[in-house]
Amino acid sequence: MSPPRFVPGFDAPDRPRDPALLFAARGFDLLVTEGEGEGTSVLPTVGRLPSLAAQALFLGTLDGVDCYVTAVPKDTEAPAGMKFIPGRALYSRVDEETFGVVGRSLAIAEWDLLHRFCGRCAQPTVLTPGERARRCSACRTPFYPRISPAVIVLITRGDEMLLARNANFPDAFFSTLAGFVDVGESLEETVAREVREEVGLEMKNLRYFGSQPWPFGRSLMVGFTAEYASGEIRVDGQEIAEAGWFGVDRLPRIPPPLSIARRLIDSHIAQVKGRPPSP
């Protein structure tokens, strides 16, 4: 087995920082180099932006290269030859491992910015060596990056799959159903509730598929597959604009690669097309 390409870390190593990659986050926007190709080349180095990197936090190493993240004020202007772009825009410009570090950097930058002071006694917090935490300098309350669990499910009916268009999607594509876990719910209960609320269906044979960290809601997406049990599609009209059953050869516009939603869809397509035809 090959070693992982990204190795997380907490305490900055004692070596020169200039060659390190710098993830400079302005909200959910990231600073990138204009006019360069795909991959990590779009990300600046610490040596190019020493003033921005002064308070940067160590993320870990990507392909042996140190990575740092820093949160910059919302009014920060991009240096010459650079620009701020939404982190999502790097979705198709970098590989999956690098995009994962992009998401990690945005989430950690936000956490670091929001927890400079204690929410209990308002005193300053300080970084805790050896872990990703800030701790109050007075009452010692710890603050960790927030992760919100969410479920995502592909429901099938024979060879067909249920896909829906979210009313809030920036692009008009169809995807699998998803939602955040509520307080006191199990993952299985969340799936059943979301399916009932969004499309009015009942399901059966729920199975775990896989998971994916997703930074743009600071969430961990937990994927499932299930089979249709009963009911007629009734979209809620709020989150879901339209939904329907789709065969593998007549799909609408679906999510791009890298997302767990696309992996669920692609897995079902592979299963259907890999089966011998019915006699």
CATH classification at residue 153 = 3.90.79.10
Query: Are both 106 and 33 inside the same structural domain?
Result: yes
110 and 152 inside one domain: no
Domain membership of residue 41 (yes or no) is yes
Q: How many domains does the chain have?
A: 2
Please state, rounded to an integer, the average pLDDT across all residues of the chain.
91
Q: What is the three-class DSSP state of 8?
A: strand
Are 14 and 106 in a shared domain? yes
- Domain region containing 62: 6-114
Task: Express each pLDDT in 227-260 by its tens digit.
Answer: 999 999 999 888 899 999 999 999 999 988 878 9
Residue 168 pLDDT > 70: yes
Based on the domain organization, do 254 and 158 belong to the same domain? yes
Phi, psi of 36 (to 5 degrees): -110, 165
pLDDT at residue number 171: 65
CA 53 to CA 84: how far, in whole Å? 16
pLDDT of the residue at 40: 57
- Amino acid at the residue 54: A
- In the block, tokens 């610490």 appear at 46
> Contact 122/192 with Cβ under 8 angstroms?
no
Measure CA of the first residue to CA of the last residue in the chain; give whole Å: 42
Judge whether 268 lies within some domain: yes
Residue ending a domain, choose from 114, 136, 163: 114
Q: How far is CA 11 from CA 51, 69, 163, 180, in A?
A: 20, 13, 44, 32
Residue 279: its pLDDT value, please?
47
Residue 161 sits in the same domain as residue 236: yes
pLDDT-above-90 percentage for the chain: 73
Examine residue 161 and state whether it is found in any structural domain, yes or no.
yes
Taking residues 2-23, report their average pLDDT: 91
Residues in the chain: 279
Residue 203, helix vs strand vs coil? strand
10 within 8 A of 134, measured Cβ to Cβ:
no
- The pTM score is 0.82
Kindly state the helix (H) or strand (E) to which residue 136 belongs, with its residue range: strand 134-136
137 is a domain residue: no
Structural tokens at position 101: 């570090």
Sign of CA dihedral 196, 200, 202, 208: negative
Q: How far apart are CA 70 and CA 66, in angstroms?
A: 14
- Same domain membership, residue 176 and residue 84: no
The mean pLDDT of 65-69, rounded to a whole number, is: 97
Q: Looking at residue 244, what is its pLDDT?
A: 97
Does one domain contain both 250 and 160?
Answer: yes
List all residues 6 or more positions away from 155 whose beta carbon is below 8 Å from its beta carbon.
161, 162, 177, 195, 201, 203, 225, 226, 227, 228
